[in-house]
Amino acid sequence: MSNPTAAILIIGNEILSGRTQDVNVQFIAQSLAGLGIKLQEVRVVPDIAARIISAVNELRASYDMLFTTGGIGPTHDDITSECVAAAFGVPWELNEETDREMRERMGDRYNAARQRMATMPRGSVPIKNEASIAPGFTIANVHVMAGVPRIMQAMMKALEPSLPRGERIEMRAVHGFGVMEGAIAEGLAAIQARFPHLDLGSYPFKRDGAWGVALVAKGTDLSAIEDAAKQATDLIAAQGVEPIQGEPVSS
Amino acid sequence: MSNPTAAILIIGNEILSGRTQDVNVQFIAQSLAGLGIKLQEVRVVPDIAARIISAVNELRASYDMLFTTGGIGPTHDDITSECVAAAFGVPWELNEETDREMRERMGDRYNAARQRMATMPRGSVPIKNEASIAPGFTIANVHVMAGVPRIMQAMMKALEPSLPRGERIEMRAVHGFGVMEGAIAEGLAAIQARFPHLDLGSYPFKRDGAWGVALVAKGTDLSAIEDAAKQATDLIAAQGVEPIQGEPVSS
């Protein structure tokens, strides 16, 4: 396996209640794909300490790295940082450098609630970023980020240079409007069998009231991917439909 | 605890690769909230049998019900149904009623690939729906649905009358434009302390280039929720800002 693995843990009552549409998973997933890191699992858990601690410990043990989002603000419901300290069994203490910088930049507004954002598990490295004065932090293979998308995105950008990289994961897609999955399933399985080291996916969609299917070949062997995509294109053409190359439309 | 609990399992390489933006979690979360069912966990796993089987078994044991989406189509990468059979340790076999109905409705188009969609874990009850000829299915406390949003939504609608209900979970929100979380954290913690049986959440957002915060009181005791929301409103007003009632804006 030449690709490092990763998981995402979303700490978010607001996702579980349906109040908020998550957009962080797709952003992180695309960032990781660009680095050749395989995202292998996502979990969403509520703002409950025991649930956060056990999820952090399970996921950091199972994958090469873990990214968390949410729960690092100044309010009473922001408990991620304490929970990560508990998961690692280390003290949760003021990060001197962050405390100094936040005090300088915030002046009188730097109150007790905000000082909680300078408090981290011992041994953490702050994730300084362009979107917020309060940083995220990295401890071992766990990267703790904000839940607000624009701040999370700035933290991810700040992290990227230090992340391990793998072989780039390439993708080629072709779609056929009016093609039903059931009509091409057998032919598609035959293509998958010829390219066992690729992931060949089939994703139905509906657009302008008509069904179609997107066929996606994915892996690290670009020449095989292009061969497989060519065969998928022929499969769609054999249905009497003009194959459309490129980014598949979403459903 | 007067609310049944639930988890969602998304079977989807396309979510983990970042190709597709998930929209199923929010739809299911809102449907469950309307029934008084507490969504307690979401997981996304790849189309790998061992991963699906262990996630199904962990989640169906941990919560009152489990909803899965994805992987029940006719193509080689659709393996959810077999995996659920394996998770329950029951045979994966043709559902006679579904087989007959699909054959009648599809005629010549009913091929071997499509017959896989009539094949289910023994003991399953089909989830007939208005969006697709092929049904989902329920086995014990596990509801297996399609990944395509409009089909999943039709299956959820078909399921709703048979789901257990809990006390309705109510929510009241107030937001303050220009209010920073750090400035109100202490006052908010005091409100939470006065209403320990409610969830009081604080969610920063940015709109038109300016930060704001949404305060959300959630629970089953409507009169307490309204009292807490009133206190949150006063807290925002004390910052010299006009509080805005109603649905919080998303970040």
Nearest CA in chain B to A20: B250
Q: Whole-number mean pLDDT of chain B?
A: 94
Contact A16 B39 (CB under 8 A): yes
- CB contacts, 8 Å: B19 with chain A: 171, 216, 248
Q: Nearest CA to CA, how far is A123 from chain B (Å)?
A: 25
According to DSSP, residue B162 is labeled G
> How far out from the chain centre does Cα B172 lie?
20
Of the candidates B32, B43, B109, the beta carbon closest to that of A42 is on: B43
H/E run at residue B42: strand B38-45
- B49 at the A interface (CB within 8 A)? no
Are B237 and B181 in contact, with CB atoms under 8 Å apart? no
pLDDT digits (tens), chain B, 251 positions? 479 999 999 999 999 999 999 999 999 999 999 999 999 999 999 999 999 999 999 999 999 999 999 999 999 999 999 999 999 999 999 999 999 999 999 999 999 999 999 999 999 999 999 999 999 999 999 999 999 999 999 999 999 999 999 998 899 999 999 999 999 999 999 999 999 999 999 999 888 888 899 999 999 999 999 999 999 999 999 999 999 998 644 43
Contact B203 A74 (CB under 8 A): no
Q: Nearest CA to CA, how far is B179 from chain A (Å)?
A: 12
H/E run at residue B220: none
**Preferred mutation among B52, B239, B251 to probe A, highest tally of A CBs within 10 A:** B251
Q: Nearest CA to CA, how far is A142 from chain B (Å)?
A: 18
pLDDT digits (tens), chain A, 251 positions? 479 999 999 999 999 999 999 999 999 999 999 999 999 999 999 999 999 999 999 999 999 999 999 999 999 999 999 999 999 999 999 999 999 999 999 999 999 999 999 999 999 999 999 999 999 999 999 999 999 999 999 999 999 999 999 998 899 999 999 999 999 999 999 999 999 999 999 999 888 888 899 999 999 999 999 999 999 999 999 999 999 998 644 43
Could you tell me which CATH number the domain at A5-162 has?
Answer: 3.40.980.10
Q: Residue A219's closest CA among A229, A231, A232?
A: A229
Q: Nearest CA to CA, how far is B32 from chain A (Å)?
A: 9
Of the candidates B23, B30, B41, the beta carbon closest to that of A45 is on: B41
Q: Which pLDDT score is estimated for B211? A: 87
Q: Which residues numbered 150-209 in A keep a CB inside 8 Å of some CB on B? A: 150, 169, 171, 180-186, 188-189, 192, 199-206
Using one digit for the tens of pLDDT, what is the confidence trace for B148-165?
Answer: 999 999 999 999 999 999
- CB contacts, 8 Å: A183 with chain B: 109, 111
- A113 at the B interface (CB within 8 A)? yes
Burial zone of A211 (CB within 10 Å; 0-12 exposed, 13-18 middle, 19+ buried) = middle
Q: Which pLDDT score is estimated for A144? A: 98
Of the candidates A109, A192, A248, the beta carbon closest to that of B76 is on: A192
Q: Which pLDDT score is estimated for A103? A: 97
Nearest CA in chain A to B28: A18
**Residues of each domain in chain B carrying CATH 3.40.980.10:** 5-162
For B230, what's the count of Cα atoms within 13 Å in the CB-facing half-sphere? 7
Of the candidates B25, B44, B202, the beta carbon closest to that of A15 is on: B25
Are B131 and B153 in contact, with CB atoms under 8 Å apart? yes
Length of chain A in terms of residues written: 251
B114: three-class secondary structure by DSSP:
helix
**Residues of each domain in chain A carrying CATH 3.30.70.260:** 170-245
Alpha helices in chain A (DSSP H): 13-16, 24-35, 49-62, 80-88, 96-106, 112-115, 149-159, 181-194, 222-237
Alpha-carbon separation of residue B94 from A7, A208, B151 (angstroms): 36, 34, 21
Q: Which pLDDT score is estimated for B207? A: 81
Q: Nearest CA to CA, how far is B222 from chain A (Å)?
A: 16
Q: Which pLDDT score is estimated for A251? A: 39
Q: Which pLDDT score is estimated for B249? A: 47
Nearest CA in chain A to B108: A183
Contact B150 A251 (CB under 8 A): yes
Return the number of other C-beta atoms located less than 10 Å from residue B99's C-beta: 17
What residues contact residue A230 under an 8 Å CB cut-off, 6+ apart?
A: none
CA dist., res. B57 & res. A28, Å (int): 28
ipTM rounded to 2 decimals: 0.94
Angle B144-B145-B146 from CA coordinates, rounded to 5°: 140
Contact B23 A25 (CB under 8 A): no
Are B171 and B225 in contact, with CB atoms under 8 Å apart? yes
Q: Which pLDDT score is estimated for A247? A: 66
Alpha-carbon separation of residue A194 from A48, A191, B33, B120 (angstroms): 47, 5, 46, 28
Contact B185 A74 (CB under 8 A): yes
How many beta-carbon pairs under 8 angstroms link A with B? 212
Contact B39 A45 (CB under 8 A): no
Q: Which pLDDT score is estimated for B65? A: 98
Q: Which pLDDT score is estimated for B250? A: 44
CATH fold of B170-245: Alpha-Beta Plaits (3.30.70)
**Preferred mutation among A32, A44, A78 to probe B, highest tally of B CBs within 10 A:** A44
Contact A43 B40 (CB under 8 A): no
According to DSSP, residue A103 is labeled H
Contact B29 A15 (CB under 8 A): yes
- A73 at the B interface (CB within 8 A)? yes
**Preferred mutation among A35, A45, A69, A77 to probe B, highest tally of B CBs within 10 A:** A77
